[in-house]
Amino acid sequence: MSKMIRSCPTCASGNKQPLTRKRKRTLAEYPPFPYLACMSFTGGSVKDRLSAYAQTRGIQLTARLGFGKDGSVWATSRSTAVKVFEQPHAYEAEQAVYERLQSEGVSQVLGHRVPNMLQTDSQLGIIEMTIVEAPFLLDFAGAHLDFPQEFPEEVMQEWLASKQEEFGPNWGHAAMILIALERMGIYMLDVHPGNIRFQDPP
């Protein structure tokens, strides 16, 4: 059987957070597990949810900042970014990580700006945050807290090789960012240059 290793090779500290961390929500506030599995956003399509969010806050969506597999992100008339999620689990994951970052008082990690979460709407599946410029670190929809996942070593070797190729000379710094996140109990799995962005070319 393959040897199992914790998290990824570049974040092998396996750091565990003390159980004394202050949480903003308790388990009692979550629906029981079977209901979570079929929970969905109310408010309809991504477009409908975005419109409802903008309308109720009296703001306009001015330009799309980007999009990916978990959602799309829009600049607003109050100079913020609004991310609308495709899936509840991705919304929950990202919100939980931003809460952790806020409780740690983090606004940047090793020189990479981290958005500040400003407002959330769990019904519409939307997080409003500050707009950041490169170099930045964002997108925690694929991250999880406190417990590293285990992957077979050959999977991790392949992953490492692909990250070295994607990031090129910046990989060492990106790996240090992952280690810094781990020290806060944040395990980021969706690691690519769109999420850990280095300085844009002039």
Ligand X SMILES: Nc1ncnc2c1ncn2[C@@H]1O[C@H](COP(=O)(O)OP(=O)(O)OP(=O)(O)O)[C@@H](O)[C@H]1O
Interface contacts to Mg ion, rule CB under 5 A: 68, 139, 194-195
Q: Which of 44, 66, 168, 172 binds ligand X (CB under 6 A)?
A: 66
Contact window for ligand X (CB under 6 A) among 26-34, 43-51, 52-60, 130-138: 130-138
> Residue 68 CB, nearest distance to Mg ion (Å)?
4
By CB under 6 A, tell whether 148 contacts ligand X: no
Q: Does 69 bind ligand X (CB under 6 A)?
A: yes
Q: Nearest to residue 177, comparing CAs of 106, 125, 100?
A: 106
Q: What's the CA gap between 60 and 78, in Å, rounded?
A: 8
Number of chain positions touching ligand X (CB under 6 A): 20
Is 71 among the residues that bind ligand X (CB under 6 A)?
Answer: yes
Determine which helix (DSSP H) or strand (DSSP E) holds 50, and give its type and residue range.
helix 46-57
196 binds, among ligand X, Mg ion, none (CB under 5 to 8 A by kind): none
Q: Does 43 bind ligand X (CB under 6 A)?
A: no
Report the b/e string of 114-144 with b at 16+ CB within 10 A.
bbebeebbeebbbbbbeebeebbbbbbbbbb
The angle that helices 171-183 and 153-167 make with each other, rounded to 10 degrees, is 120
Question: Rule CB under 6 A: is residue 70 a binding residue for ligand X?
Answer: yes
* Rounded-to-integer distance, Cα 38 and Cα 7, Å: 28
67 lines the binding site for ligand X (CB under 6 A):
yes
| Strand ranges inside the chain, DSSP E | 4-6, 61-67, 71-76, 80-85, 108-109, 112-113, 117-121, 126-130, 136-137, 144-145, 150-152, 186-187, 196-197
Single out the segment in contact with ligand X by CB under 6 A; choices: 28-36, 137-145, 151-159, 160-168. 137-145
Of the listed pieces 2-10, 47-55, 129-137, 153-161, which binds ligand X according to CB under 6 A?
129-137
Residue 31 in the binding site for ligand X (CB under 6 A): no
Q: What residue ranges bind ligand X (CB under 6 A)?
A: 65-71, 73, 81, 83, 115, 129, 131-132, 138-139, 141, 190, 194-195
